[in-house]
Amino acid sequence: MSGYFRDLLDGTKSLAVGLGITFKYMVGPVITLQYPHQTLPMQPRFRGHIDLVRDPETGTDRCIVCGMCQKTCPSGCITVAGDKVEGVKKKALTLYTLDFTKCSLCGLCVEVCPADAITFSKDYNLAGRSREAYVFDLKKRLEERKG
């Protein structure tokens, strides 16, 4: 019989403690991030789709159009094209497309690139209405990033 009242008392006390804890949380600050309105900076190791790196000296891409990335890509989602341009010693990049619908983000292209011309972007807010929206023209993206 004494156990009955002890259980009752202890139970009631622990219930009151529980209510106290939730009340403290309720009046305390909100710790969640209001995502579409606020975002966190992405970690440096985050692997988004690839992007061309801008050379700070020339202000353009560092690609030498060797085609290593295109060859090494297991999914065949990279297309590179280059052409000789007057006054420039190396081949200049004219087209760099990434078919992100097939990309598996393995990163072999970034690893193999001899000129360190590509890197992972920090882009994670991807949404589109068509398949074509995910075929990225990376050269155009690089030029748009300038502004």
Partner 1 sequence: MSVHPDVARVIGYVVGTIAFVALNASFLVWLERKVAGHIQRRIGPKEVGPFGIFQSLADGIKLMSKQLIVPEGADGLLFRLAPLLVMIPAVMVYVVIPFGPALVARDINMGILVIFAFASINVLGLLLGGWGSNNKYAVISATRAVSQNVAYEIPMLLTVVTLVMITHTMSLNQIVAQQPTIKDWYLFPWNGSIMLPIGFLIFFICSMAETNRAPFDLGEAESELVAGFHTEYAGMGFGLFFLGEYSNVFVGCALASIMFLGGWQCPFGLYPGVHWMLIKTYFLVFVVMWVRWTYPRTTLYGLLNLSWKVLIPFALLNLLVTAALLKVF
Q: By CB under 8 A, is residue 2 in contact with partner 1?
A: no
The smaller minimum CB distance to partner 1, of residues 11 and 128, is found at 11
Closest to 80 (Cα-Cα) out of 89, 69, 90? 69
Q: By CB under 8 A, is residue 19 in contact with partner 1?
A: yes
**Distance from C-alpha of 55 to C-alpha of 63, rounded to nearest angstrom:** 9
DSSP state of 28: S
Q: By CB under 8 A, is residue 30 in contact with partner 1?
A: yes
Q: Are 82 and 128 in contact (CB under 8 A)?
A: no
**Distance from C-alpha of 109 to C-alpha of 97, rounded to nearest angstrom:** 13
**79 strand-pairing partners:** 97
Q: How far is the CB of 21 from partner 1 (least distance, A)?
A: 8
Q: How far is the CB of 19 from partner 1 (least distance, A)?
A: 5
Contacting residue, 6, 9, 10, 25, with partner 1 by CB under 8 A: 25
Q: How far is the CB of 128 from partner 1 (least distance, A)?
A: 23
Q: Are 52 and 118 in contact (CB under 8 A)?
A: yes
Contacting residue, 1, 3, 29, 56, with partner 1 by CB under 8 A: 29
The smaller minimum CB distance to partner 1, of residues 29 and 114, is found at 29
The smaller minimum CB distance to partner 1, of residues 32 and 58, is found at 32
**Distance from C-alpha of 31 to C-alpha of 137, rounded to nearest angstrom:** 38
List of residues contacting partner 1 (CB under 8 A): 8, 15, 18-19, 21-23, 25-32, 34
